Amino acid sequence: MLCCLAFPPFLYCVIYLFFYIRGLQSEKAQRPAVITVEGGTDVMLPCSLSTKENIEFKLFDWRKVAQKDDGLKEVFLYDGGSHYNNGLDGQSEEFKGRVSHFQDELKHGNASIIIRNTKTSDSGEYTCYFPNLQPRQIFYIELVAGEYFYYLIVGFIPQLVLPNNKISQTITAKYPQKQQASYFNSILQITAKLNDIYLFLTIQGHNIKTV
């Protein structure tokens, strides 16, 4: 027997909105931290299903999101065993021969890739998309590929304290320090995109106390 329930019109709208919002949330995963890498080195872009289900016979597609001066890029496509490194066509020219996946990890739901010999032009937002899963899933990665340069801070008394190695989302730094006589020199080794402009301000304080 077919049973039909009558609901007020506004309730249908509430039910529809509930499932629509749930669908949007399932498609867009939380954005992970920005990945910063020195130009010329290799980098892994992570993408793993929380269910750990076998994806050896699934479809997933890595793309670089279109930017204001560049269009959408096909980075790596895997389709049930076929991919860009074994004959599948469609990969963007700048990624040919530089991208690979982890075949042995597919059975654990790991669709991560490696981009070799990174360039500053590789910087941007990447998506890892599973269009045929229910619900569909998409992961977002922000890659910053840059070069090392140095910022020298000379002659601080007492020793300069640099609290962490995260200047911003797109700049990381290391702080090797060297003492000379009664003062300290500090060198910031920074990875950043060379086509951007950065302003560094160093402030020295004495007898600073925190409460």
Asked if residue 106 lies in contact with residue 47, where contact means CB atoms within 8 angstroms, the answer is no
Which residues of the chain are modeled with pLDDT < 70? 1-33, 147-211
How do residues 104-127 score in pLDDT, each as one tens digit? 999 999 999 999 999 999 999 999
Count the neighbouring beta carbons within 10 Å of the beta carbon of residue 179. Answer: 9
SS3 15: helix
CATH 2.60.40.10 fits 17-145, yes or no: yes
Please identify which residue in the block is written with the tokens 């941007």: 124
User: pLDDT at position 29, please?
Assistant: 45
CA angle 7, 12, 18 (to 5 degrees): 135
Domain ranges of the chain: 17-145, 148-192
User: pLDDT at position 68, please?
Assistant: 78
Asked if residue 171 lies in contact with residue 147, where contact means CB atoms within 8 angstroms, the answer is no
How far, rounded to the nearest angstrom, does the alpha carbon of residue 97 sit from its chain's CA centroid? 21
CA angle 113, 115, 119 (to 5 degrees): 155
Structural tokens at position 155: 């002659």
